[in-house]
Amino acid sequence: MGIGKLKKKRENVAAEEKIRSLVRQYGRGLLGLLVLVMIVHDVFGTHGFLAMRRTQDEIRKVKANLDALSKENAALAQEVKDLNTDPRLIEKIARDDLGLARPGEIIIRIPQGQTFEQSPVLKR
């Protein structure tokens, strides 16, 4: 072997030894730091635990809103059905909301803010 090759081999061995020394000295710290960064990312990242919880809460709210709208829709559908099939309901709406009357009837409206005062009864 030539002197150049031996020198190069010693330099490689020295570099490898330096790398091993650095890995021994800082390896655990770097590994711990990497694990810590991964945990923080898994908790606070865009697809992490907290984001997942927010998404689940939003899904619950949307489902509750959908249930409420479905109930309201069913009630409105029942009201439409009743209006199409029940003539008494139509008459009630015509009388109460529109103020209509049958022939010969008289409607007397009293304003809501106005009340009749009753005269006090005298005792003897």
Q: What is the pLDDT of residue 101?
A: 81
**Model confidence, pTM:** 0.50
Q: What is the pLDDT of residue 102?
A: 81
Which residue is associated with the tokens 């899904």? 59
Most confident region among 4-13, 42-51, 68-77, 107-116 by mean pLDDT: 68-77
Higher pLDDT, 108 or 117: 108
pLDDT digits (tens, 9 = 90+) for 20-50: 888 888 888 999 999 999 999 988 888 899 9
CA distance 5 to 13: 12
Q: Is the pLDDT of residue 69 over 90?
A: yes
Q: What is the pLDDT of residue 99?
A: 78
Boundaries of every domain in the chain: 11-44, 46-99
